[in-house]
Structure 1
Amino acid sequence: MTRGLTLPGHRLPHLPRPLDAFNAAPATEARALLLRCLHSHRWSHRVAAHRPYPDLDALLAAADEAAYDLSPADISGALAHESLPTLPADTYSAAHMALDAQHAAYEARFGHVFVIYLGDIPPAETADRILEAIRSRSANDPDEERAIAADELRRLARGRLGTFLRSAGPSSPAAPPLGATSPNAPAPGR
């Protein structure tokens, strides 16, 4: 039995991965994306300068490593661009009031906003987790809390970079294309 002509195999067009677009972007665009995620010029410049990255894990490791070299002033600058963690919409007003009071006391004690990475916390547990953490960390001495806040900044940055580069391509509606982000744009949610 003979077969008819076989059609040539179809090739899907090569769609650039978000990391490929990041690696190939002009330095100013890469730094703008990094600044949006890291909130520190020095941190952003260091990570952008070591491109290209073979994979997302290498980029995240580089961001971690560069964070350890930040000066206290760099950390203060990054903390100044952070915002309070967002509570789920259905959180009771009493919880909002309790957290507002704790945030105010924390900021008065340490001079910066309370930061915490919530990427692995179920939304239903967010308010409890924030309240527990802020109460616990408010008892820290300023140097100890500064170290914890710096670690939380690293975790937040990893989460933002991972979210952007896993879910958003250069033309994805989930995030602006490389170069379209403003260094002052708000960072993706936590």
Structure 2
Amino acid sequence: MTPTHLPGRVAIPSLPEQTRTPPSPNALEPFNTAPAAEVRQTLLTCLRSPRWADRLADHRPYPDLDALLAASDEAAYDLSPADLAEALAAETLPVLPEGIYGAAHTALNAANAAYEAKFGHAFIICVDDLPPAEALDQVLHAIRSRLANDPDEERVVTAEELRRLAKGRLVRAVRSAGL
């Protein structure tokens, strides 16, 4: 069976890559020494905000992963509402393991449609810390509970989830050292 994709977007990371092995101490060398344009392209796969990517690329070199992640947080906290809207607009539904949407497709589709109608952007949640088997249930629970938020509350929650997503993607990008 091929995966069914929802017409809406729910930004969650690819589930099979949920390991927590820290990169080696010299893992940042390729990141720190790669051409700026290449680093920016990699960073844009982590968070689709040119302002965030430029800021991280421009402040290289980073002594270690903790410094890079702290800079990532700081840059994400400084994004304007327009920067956040731009990043949210670029989020897409990832390809998930086969059958992941089988039983929950209708519920997730309805909840996502209600969320996008109310807030005008993709539902964002980071499930990096959850076992893959629990991720879909958590997404459904979170989207339903966050529908009760007012727009200002949800903007804060969404920005925090987007920041968490960016950090997880950044760790995976550094770990792959494909720069």
Structure 1 vs Structure 2: percent identity of aligned residues? 64
Cα deviation, 1:68-127, whole Å, max 9, x if unaligned, reads 111100000000111236654333633111001100110010000101001111111111
Judging changes above 3 Å, is the alpha-carbon distance between structure 1 residues 134 and 87 closer, same or farther for their aligned structure 2 residues?
A: farther
State how far apart, in whole Å, the 2-side matches of 1:139 and 1:65 are: 28
| 2:101 is the alignment partner of 1:96 | no
Question: 2:49 is matched with which residue: 40, 44, 49?
Answer: 40
Aligned residue type for 2:74? E
Query: What is the aligned length?
Result: 156
1:145-174: CA deviation from partner (whole Å, max 9, x where unpaired): 0110000010000000101212x13xxxxx
SS of 1:94 mapped into structure 2: coil
Alignment partner of 2:82 out of 50, 65, 73: 73
TM-score by length of 1: 0.77
Q: Which residue of 2 aligns with 1:107?
A: 116
Partner of 1:5: none
Judge conservation of contact 1:88–1:123 (CA < 8 Å) in 2: no
Residues in 1 aligned to 2:27 and 2:171: alpha-carbon distance in whole angstroms: 11
Separation in structure 1 between the aligned mates of residue 110 and residue 135 of structure 2, nearest angstrom: 17
Mapped contact 1:88–1:126 kept (Cα < 8 A): no
Contact 2:62–2:68 (Cα < 8 Å) also in 1: yes
Amino acid at match of 1:133: A
Distance (Å, rounded) in 1 between the aligned partners of 2:156 and 2:78: 13
Deviations 1:20-60 (A, max 9, x none): 01101111111111111111000101111110000111101
5+ residue gaps, structure 2, are 1-24
Question: Based on CA coordinates, which of the two structures has the bigger radius of gyration?
Answer: 1
Give the TM-score normalised by the residue count of structure 2: 0.81
Structure 1 unmatched runs, 5+: 1-15, 170-176, 179-190
Give the equivalent residue in structure 1 for 2:32. Answer: 23
CA contact (8 A) 1:47 1:66 kept: yes
**C-alpha RMSD over aligned residues:** 1.9
Q: Residue type matched to 2:56 in 1?
A: V
Partner in structure 1 of residue 157 of structure 2: 148
Please name the residue that 1:165 is paired with. Answer: 174
Shift of 1:67: 0.8
- In 2, the alpha carbon distance for the partners of 1:88 and 1:148 equals 27
Higher helix share: 2
Could you tell me which amino acid in structure 2 is paired with residue 30 of structure 1? V
